[in-house]
Amino acid sequence: MRSVWCTIQTVSGDSQPRRRAPRILVTATTEVVRGRPRVRVNEAYTDALLAAGMTPLVLPPINPRAALQALDDADALLLTGGEDIDPKQFDQSPHEKTGEPHAARDACELALARAARDRRTPTFAICRGAQVMNVALGGTLVQDISSQRTTDINHDQSIRRTERVHDVVVDEGSLLSRVVGAADIRVNSSHHQSVDQVAPGLRVTATASDGIIEAVESTDPSWWMLAVQWHPEELLGTTEDWDRRLFEAFARAAGADRSA
């Protein structure tokens, strides 16, 4: 495993070990824009990583084998939000409200999630990313919250991405609790699916008042993996520091010496 330390010669001639910025592999989607297929990732993710002292390396939905080679050169993995996962990946038929899947992205990110688990690569999974992680490790999803669950919360509020719209209760004994420093937080919400059956090796660490799972994390203390259903990258400008603390903790995990 690699250390994140390197030696840089300064202009004064003094050579001292300096901590380089952790390199974060950031998953992306593809989209036709102005008639051309393009790789796309929201700037909020890369801005959040940069603000916490990390260097984003954006990865298109490429062949899984090539994606795993890219993971070799990264210090950590960020699984981003986006399209619905193909329900065949968790042995279900599509619900009528399930969106069109992105097969190449599913294959790439599921492979990355499993490799991150096997390699103990620090991983932060956001929205779709949390769902990818759960499916990759053997869990299932609620395909449409509004029609498959009883709830008085509107979880699909994409037009209010920078607003805190509902409360989340955080498990007191969890890594998430230690990171955010609170048992009750308020989050944004931009999803119509969620984790259902939790994968082996993961545990629920936050829920909304209607029981919808809002966060899971690894049960293996040697693997730093946090997965949240909301979009913390969109909330860094708010008064509350919970989401800034998430990215700061990710930076510390990504920058740790993993040579052992």
Determine the average pLDDT of the residues in 19-25.
93
102, 127, 155, 234: the active-site residue: 127
pTM of the model: 0.91
Tell which wins on pLDDT, 259 or 56. Answer: 56
Tell me which of 19-23, 179-183, 193-197, 242-246 is least confident.
19-23
Determine the average pLDDT of the residues in 227-249.
97
CATH topology of domain 19-255: Rossmann fold (3.40.50)
109, 214, 217, 233: the active-site residue: 233
Annotated catalytic residue 231: yes
170 close to 176: Cβ distance less than 8 angstroms: yes
What's the pLDDT score for residue 18? Answer: 65
Torsion-angle region of 13 (φ positive above 0: left; ψ -120 to 50: alpha; else: beta)? left
What's the pLDDT score for residue 19? Answer: 75
Which residues are within 8 A (CB) of 9 and not within 5 positions of it... i.e. 6 or more apart? 15
77 close to 28: Cβ distance less than 8 angstroms: no
Binning pLDDT at 50, 70 and 90, where does residue 4 land? Answer: very low
What's the pLDDT score for residue 5? Answer: 36
Annotated catalytic residue 102: no
Determine the average pLDDT of the residues in 34-38.
94
102, 192, 231, 234: the active-site residue: 231
Binning pLDDT at 50, 70 and 90, where does residue 93 land? Answer: very high
Distances (CA, A) of 193 to 39, 59, 132, 234: 24, 24, 11, 19
Annotated catalytic residue 233: yes
Distinct helix (H) and strand (E) counts, the chain: 7, 15
> What radius of gyration do the chain's Cα atoms show?
18
User: Is the predicted pLDDT of residue 238 greater than 90, yes or no?
Assistant: yes
Tell which wins on pLDDT, 28 or 2. Answer: 28
214 close to 168: Cβ distance less than 8 angstroms: yes
What's the pLDDT score for residue 15? Answer: 55
Distances (CA, A) of 31 to 28, 103, 143, 256: 10, 13, 23, 35
Tell which wins on pLDDT, 48 or 4. Answer: 48
**Token reading at 57:** 């390396």
Binning pLDDT at 50, 70 and 90, where does residue 256 land? Answer: confident
pLDDT 10s digits, 131-184: 999 999 999 999 999 999 999 998 989 899 999 999 999 999 999 999 999 999
User: Is the predicted pLDDT of residue 9 greater than 70, yes or no?
Assistant: no
User: Is the predicted pLDDT of residue 47 greater than 50, yes or no?
Assistant: yes
User: Is the predicted pLDDT of residue 8 greater than 80, yes or no?
Assistant: no
Domain positions in the chain: 19-255
Determine the average pLDDT of the residues in 93-104.
96
